[in-house]
Chains A and B, each alone.
Chain A
Amino acid sequence: MSPGPAQLPLGVGLRDDATFANYLPSGNATLVDRMRAQLDEAGEPFLFLWGGEGVGRSHLLQAACHEASDRDKRALYLPLAELGHFPPHMLEDIERLDLVAIDDLECVLGRKRWEEALFHCFNRLRDADKRLVIAASAAPRQLDIRLADLASRLTWGMTFHVRPLDDDGRADALKLRAQVRGMQLPDEVVRYILHRGPRRLGELFEALETLDRASLSAKRKLTIPFVKQALGW
């Protein structure tokens, strides 16, 4: 049986890119301040942040790149989980940029060519007085790095542990992201989504995207029955 008729929505939803404005600093306020100030004259040349799955490392790195382009600086976000299986040619000439954000560092560790390329990249950025921010799943000393020179370089900058949000923080984050999309999410719906939905914040925000489209298409308010239906729960 074919599904019933469905109105297709226009793409008028507001974009919800990862920025500092839609990141809830919570316990990470100092880190956010440092990151936002990194492109200032006196900014930190190198920041290292680490934390568990879904704490918002990628969000922060992408936010740094958006902020850089808002300030007319050139920045590049390199998610090594996706790019790590290519040879590290992408790091050549990278010191022409103002800010380089390397995500998922652990994905390339133990691979000689990548470790060497990262080591040289670090040095070149430093010599050119450009900014670097690296994120990984663990603190530099806990990472399984073969190249001792790279391991020591990674401890040169400021290191931050990205703290996960508690349940209130997760509720606030979900509301904030809904608000950025211009959607009002009632408290009981927030509680329902957090209770029933995925643990990972990234997946929660994807559910929000699905809800945005579904409510635009159906012109429905975000009630618990509607959320159930739209997300197939």
Chain B
Amino acid sequence: MKFSITREALLRPLALVAGVVERRQTLPVLSNVLLEVQDAQLSLTGTDLEVELIGRTAPSQVDEPGSATVPARKLMDICKSLPDQAEISISLEEGRAVLRSGRSRFTLSTLPVAEFPNIEDSQGSVELSLPRGTLKHLIDATSFAMAQQDVRYYLNGMLLELRSNLVRTVATDGHRLAVCSRPADIEVEPAQKLIVPRKGVLELVRLLDDSDEPVSLTLGASHVRAHTGEFTFTSKLVDGKFPDYERVVPKGGDKVFIADRAELRQVLSRTSILSNEKYRGVRLQLDEGNLQVMANNPEQEEAEENIAIEYSGAGLEIGFNVSYLIDVLNVLGEDRVQMTLADPNSSALMEEPGGGDAMYVVMPMRL
């Protein structure tokens, strides 16, 4: 194997592919990236056995096709630190990978290509394509609510629901839940529901942009594959049932107020400074035309803020983890936010006034 390539052509796919590579892993070869040169194409593969990412780019010259696996992070750190527009040549010499650029020379260890694991090609039963911007929006609107390392495997991921003319994502960590749906020009019969693991979701969204260019999805029994032209992403699916989100969305909340989203977010962020660092609790006092936000901490320090809101109804005092409210305000699009409450022990519904494409359910705290 011998080829040369510009630093810029190598760096973006290498950075994304190296993102999949875990810092610590059971198999040494998993810390490597697989380089394959063929015709006028270089492909790079990184995997952690759950998520696999293949990036493709064009070398400036191919002297000898071939393949090798080299340490992903070291290769990336070297390429990053070389000057802009540097021309890099990589060749396999006596079982070692030699990287040359200008007057620099690096010799990297390799591991046999045969040891590099492939995620097995599972039979794809359904194929469809979505605008990249649609999928990115759906993931961005909900991914913050995924659990991290919960004992319930199904919460450490995102539900991707595909049905004819509709795509929906749902994520929940057991304290809050995020749902976002968008119309899409797809035919899926019967509807498909997959749970993509947390890491897969976070890696997939890095490949997407806001464009209308397509991302094609192949849905298998145990894997999902996404293809964007330059990248092929494969993730194992979480085997299990996802909770019925409709059961969780509150109905019958009678206290509905509308506030300025940016202003409410600032009020909450300021108040949160003096909330209990562990529990992050704030107290909301809802009154006609006014929302009071209060926090205090074990040092007896107190914060109190008032914000004008559109509300005429009965008063209510309710506690929340302030981070959960700020997370929602960060992803909502409109200038104003609508919040529907019932009582201090029932979940709150947050959405755009009149309801947008996303719904957020937040459980209160007992303070």
In the bound complex, residues from chain A placing their C-beta under 8 Å from that of B177 are 10, 12
A226 to B345: give the CA distance in the assembly, Å. Answer: 24
Q: In the complex, which of the residues B151, B172, B173 contacts A183, with contact meaning CB atoms closer than 8 Å?
A: B151
In the bound complex, residues from chain A placing their C-beta under 8 Å from that of B367 are 5
- B279 & A7 in contact (Cβ 8 Å cutoff): yes
For residue B232, CB closer than 8 A to chain A, the reply is: no
- A10 & B153 in contact (Cβ 8 Å cutoff): no
Give chain B nearest CB distance to A170 CB in angstroms. 21
- List the A residue with the shortest CB-CB distance to B147: A219
- List the A residue with the shortest CB-CB distance to B154: A182
Q: Mark B170-212, 1 if CB is under 8 A from A, else 0.
A: 0011111100000000000000000000000000000000000
For residue B28, CB closer than 8 A to chain A, the reply is: no
Q: Mark B314-343, 1 if CB is under 8 A from A, else 0.
A: 000001010000000000000000000000
- B366 & A183 in contact (Cβ 8 Å cutoff): no
**Given the interface contacts A4-B279, A184-B151, does A10 sit within 8 Å of B174 by beta carbon?**
yes
Give chain B nearest CB distance to A81 CB in angstroms. 30
For residue B356, CB closer than 8 A to chain A, the reply is: no
- B150 & A219 in contact (Cβ 8 Å cutoff): yes
- Which residues 115-131 of A have a CB within 8 angstroms of B? none
- A12 & B365 in contact (Cβ 8 Å cutoff): no
A11 to B149: give the CA distance in the assembly, Å. Answer: 19
A19 to B177: give the CA distance in the assembly, Å. Answer: 28
Q: Mark A190-222, 1 if CB is under 8 A from B, else 0.
A: 000000000000000000000000011101011
- B155 & A12 in contact (Cβ 8 Å cutoff): yes
Chain B interface main SS type: loop
A182 to B147: give the CA distance in the assembly, Å. Answer: 13
For residue B27, CB closer than 8 A to chain A, the reply is: no
Give chain B nearest CB distance to A55 CB in angstroms. 28
Give chain A nearest CB distance to B135 CB in angstroms. 24
- Which residues 241-285 of B have a CB within 8 angstroms of A? 241, 243, 245, 247-248, 276, 279, 281
For residue A14, CB closer than 8 A to chain B, the reply is: yes
In the bound complex, residues from chain B placing their C-beta under 8 Å from that of A13 are 152, 174, 243
- Looking at B149, B172, B281, B363, the one whose CB has the most chain A CB atoms below 10 A away is B363
- A11 & B281 in contact (Cβ 8 Å cutoff): no
- List the B residue with the shortest CB-CB distance to A222: B151
In the bound complex, residues from chain A placing their C-beta under 8 Å from that of B152 are 13-14, 181-183, 216
Chain A interface main SS type: loop
- B321 & A7 in contact (Cβ 8 Å cutoff): yes
Q: Mark B355-367, 1 if CB is under 8 A from A, else 0.
A: 0000001011111
A181 to B364: give the CA distance in the assembly, Å. Answer: 23
For residue B47, CB closer than 8 A to chain A, the reply is: no
Counting contact residues on chain B (CB < 8 A from A), the size range is 20 to 34
Q: Mark A72-97, 1 if CB is under 8 A from B, else 0.
A: 00000000000000000000000000
Give chain B nearest CB distance to A117 CB in angstroms. 38
- A10 & B281 in contact (Cβ 8 Å cutoff): no
For residue B112, CB closer than 8 A to chain A, the reply is: no
- List the A residue with the shortest CB-CB distance to B275: A5
For residue A148, CB closer than 8 A to chain B, the reply is: no
- A10 & B172 in contact (Cβ 8 Å cutoff): yes
In the bound complex, residues from chain B placing their C-beta under 8 Å from that of A110 are none
Give chain B nearest CB distance to A192 CB in angstroms. 16
A95 to B202: give the CA distance in the assembly, Å. Answer: 56
For residue B67, CB closer than 8 A to chain A, the reply is: no
- A6 & B365 in contact (Cβ 8 Å cutoff): yes
- B151 & A9 in contact (Cβ 8 Å cutoff): no
A4 to B278: give the CA distance in the assembly, Å. Answer: 11
- B175 & A7 in contact (Cβ 8 Å cutoff): yes
For residue B240, CB closer than 8 A to chain A, the reply is: yes
- B151 & A5 in contact (Cβ 8 Å cutoff): no
- Which residues 124-156 of B have a CB within 8 angstroms of A? 147, 149-155
A13 to B175: give the CA distance in the assembly, Å. Answer: 11
**Given the interface contacts A10-B174, A10-B361, A11-B248, does A5 sit within 8 Å of B366 by beta carbon?**
yes
In the bound complex, residues from chain B placing their C-beta under 8 Å from that of A9 are 174-175, 363
- B176 & A10 in contact (Cβ 8 Å cutoff): yes
In the bound complex, residues from chain A placing their C-beta under 8 Å from that of B361 are 10
For residue B45, CB closer than 8 A to chain A, the reply is: no
Give chain B nearest CB distance to A230 CB in angstroms. 12
- Which residues 168-197 of A have a CB within 8 angstroms of B? 181-184
- A215 & B151 in contact (Cβ 8 Å cutoff): yes
**Given the interface contacts A4-B279, A216-B174, does A10 sit within 8 Å of B151 by beta carbon?**
no
For residue B234, CB closer than 8 A to chain A, the reply is: no
- A8 & B174 in contact (Cβ 8 Å cutoff): no
A184 to B174: give the CA distance in the assembly, Å. Answer: 16
- A12 & B241 in contact (Cβ 8 Å cutoff): no
Closest 3 CB pairs of A and B: A182-B152, A12-B243, A216-B174
Please give 7 more A-B residue pairs, beta carbons under 8 A apart, in addition to A4-B279, A219-B173: A5-B279, A5-B366, A10-B172, A10-B347, A10-B363, A217-B175, A219-B174
- Show 25 A/B contacts (Cβ-Cβ < 8 Å), sorted by A: A4-B279, A5-B276, A5-B365, A5-B367, A6-B366, A7-B175, A7-B321, A7-B365, A8-B365, A9-B174, A9-B363, A10-B172, A10-B175, A10-B176, A12-B155, A12-B243, A14-B241, A181-B152, A182-B153, A184-B153, A216-B174, A219-B147, A219-B173, A221-B149, A221-B151
Interface residues of B (CB under 8 A from A): 147, 149-155, 172-177, 240-241, 243, 245, 247-248, 276, 279, 281, 319, 321, 345, 347, 361, 363-367
Interface residues of A (CB under 8 A from B): 4-14, 181-184, 215-217, 219, 221-222
